[in-house]
Amino acid sequence: MRKPIIAGNWKMNKTPAEAVELVKGLIPLVKDAKCDVVVCPTAVCLPAVAEVIKGTNIKLGAQNVHFAEKGAYTGELSADMLKAVGCEYVIVGHSERRQYFGETDKTVNLRATAAVKAGLTAIICVGEMKDERVDGYTDIIVAYQTKMALKGLTAEELNHVVIAYEPVWAIGTGLTATDEQANETIGVIRKAIAEVYGDDVAQKVRIQYGGSMKGSNVKGLMAQPEIDGGLIGGASLKAEDFAQVVNF
């Protein structure tokens, strides 16, 4: 019922020339994908990658967006700017932004709202830290982050939201949540959405897993009923690796 979506978060990797090379390699490998395919290069690579993926089934996403339309926000990019260079998606509230750049539930909500109102689809990241899982707070944390991120958005606007459940301890560590852990926590996120918007709306929202997802573990994760795709870091930086995930 929910079409899977696999997105590559390239993080701070690849020059424009390298990004073009990667995506050119990817195009033939994912052309028959049954899921939505998104790549999220750095901002400087967006125009070049947009040009190469024209007419293909690969969609473009950015890694962050500011909430103002324009103004004195040095270093930031508006939703309209991202749209102008061909973005349809934008990642919001990645744990690296929360950890290293002072992103809060409030700013995640502002950024997600700006993205959605401008017509982008926001891939909103939520996830617990290692000690939060050990202490038994995972469900509370992910439910709270989800509700705060979506605050003020209408049920209609949730058509333009994807949630990415990324346990922070699984990102870039080689540690993956077990299929069951990921499925269970994504179920908690869906329940949190249902508490605000009702079950019909919650059943339509796509929720990805992210955290050391790769060719060798994608099948097990994607076989879980709650998991609707993946947000892929390391394994999105080589065409063959990412294609293995996409063609799960």
Q: Which of 10, 31, 34, 37 is nearest to 22 (CA)?
A: 10
164: number of Cβ within 10 Å: 28
- Closest contact distance (angstroms) between CB of 120 and ligand 13P is 17
Q: How far is the CB of 239 from ligand 13P (least distance, A)?
A: 16
Give how many residues touch ligand 13P by CB under 6 A.
14
Which residue's Cβ has the minimum distance to ligand 13P? 233
Residues 10-49 as x/- pattern, contact with ligand 13P by CB under 6 A: ----------------------------------------
Which residue, chain included where needed, has tokens 């990642």?
A: 91
Residue 39, SS3 per DSSP: strand
- Specify the residue, 91 or 143, whose C-beta has the smaller distance to ligand 13P: 91
Of 127 and 193, the one with the shorter C-beta distance to ligand 13P is: 127
Q: Would you call 58 helix, strand, or coil by DSSP?
A: strand
Q: Smallest distance, Å, CB 186 to ligand 13P?
A: 15
Identify residues 159-198 at the interface with ligand 13P (CB under 6 A).
166, 171-172
> What are the structure tokens assigned to 125, written together?
């990241």
Start-end of H helices in 55-137? 79-84, 95-100, 105-117, 130-134
* Residue 109 engages ligand 13P in binding (rule: CB under 6 A): no
Of these residues, 18, 76, 94, 128, which one is catalytic?
94
- Bridge partners (DSSP) listed for residue 232: 8
Cα 66 → chain centroid:
16
The contact mask relative to ligand 13P for 197-236 (x = CB under 6 A, - = no) is -------------xxxx-----------------xxxxx-
Residue 79, helix vs strand vs coil: helix
Which positions are catalytic? 94, 166
